[in-house]
Homo-oligomer: A and B are copies of this chain.
Amino acid sequence: MYRFTNDYSEGAHPRILDAMIRTNLEGNFGYSNDPHSEQARQRIRNAIGRPDADVHLLVGGTQTNSTCLCAFLRPHEAAIAAVTGHICVHETGAIEATGHKCIAMPCDADGKLTPEAVRAACNAHSDEHMVKPRLVYISNTTETGGVYTTAELEALRAVCDELDLYLYLDGARLASALAAGGASLQDLARLCDAFYIGGTKNGALFGEAVCILNPALKPDFRYIIKQRGGLLAKGWLLGIQFEELFADDLYLKVGEHANNMALQLKQGIAALGYSFGSDSNSNQQFPILPNHVLAQLKNDFHWEVIGYPDDTHTQIRLVTSWATEQQAVDAFLAALISA
């Protein structure tokens, strides 16, 4: 059985696992008040080119999004997001549970939010009888594999400046976005008020690194992390992982490998004449395949079903990661050819 189910099916990248073994019996202070966490934060500040950034290490993505929006927004303020955005759909109302409405705006198949959609959301909210849009949430890559270019982020930044909105980027799959030629870490740090660098889906056992650039959003962030259950007791575990991910460009390499595997899948599937639900250049591919073909593959490969475009076809999601082996890709394409 080969798994293309998601990018969090295996444990840690071997270098990270080695680091955890190596440091297991070190004594460290808790709650990320340790040298590994400090080194990780420093390496991230270097990588994003912002020595003034506040960097915080959290455990998971939903936790990170809800902690950030809880910290950044006043009670009547709302987030604007693509209708497919993770916070709108797949976090069990975590943002609403902190009291904030998510304003879901239409987007294309690539899942990217446009400045026009942001402006439309603001135009529709005019007075104190409605929530006040205050933060733009985007994910990079998006939930459907889209990658924001620097120009696209600059355009979003401009509309945020114009309308007094924060720009927040969910980087659960940021390694893949970076490797796909999306906006660089330095551009993210220049254009966002805050963003997070995902670890869980990019080689870590777990962990997401929040970078806060806007000074207004920095105060007391650790209080909110703690209150929301995200302050890991053995916080150096987060430190060790990001320390390793940000040594020798491991973070980028992880994304490059995942994308390489995904693009081989894309090209092989396309060469057989099949179409895709979205034109992704990142580690998620959304081919539309005949049901009878999938029936032949399903015993050897695992994927997620996205939808049923018609009675004889199914759109599936294939996800690759640092752990995807060439052999799995080859096997899938071979099986597809012979199906």
B90 adjacent to A101 (CB under 8 Å): no
In angstroms, Cα B226 to Cα A75, docked, is 11
A56 to chain B, nearest CB (A): 11
A17 adjacent to B8 (CB under 8 Å): no
A233 close to B (CB within 8 Å): yes
B91 adjacent to A227 (CB under 8 Å): yes
Report the interface size class on chain A: 35 or more
A92 adjacent to B10 (CB under 8 Å): no
B12 adjacent to A28 (CB under 8 Å): no
Task: Find the residue from A93, A225, A232 having the highest chain B CB count within 10 A.
Answer: A93
* A92 contact from B76, B92, B323, Cβ within 8 A: B76
A112 close to B (CB within 8 Å): no
Interface digits, A203-244 against B, CB 8 Å rule (1 contact, 0 not)?
001100000000000001011111111111110010000000
* A234 contact from B94, B205, B220, B226, Cβ within 8 A: B205
A61 close to B (CB within 8 Å): yes
In the complex, what residues of B have CB within 8 A of residue A10's CB?
Answer: 24-28
Stretch touching chain B among A38-46, A124-132, A137-145, A261-269: A124-132
In angstroms, Cα B228 to Cα A70, docked, is 12
B59 adjacent to A232 (CB under 8 Å): yes
Interface residues of chain A, those whose CB is within 8 Å of chain B, are: 1, 3, 5-6, 8-12, 14, 17, 20-21, 23-30, 59-64, 66-67, 70-71, 74-76, 78, 89-94, 96-102, 104, 128-132, 200-201, 205-206, 220, 222-234, 237, 323
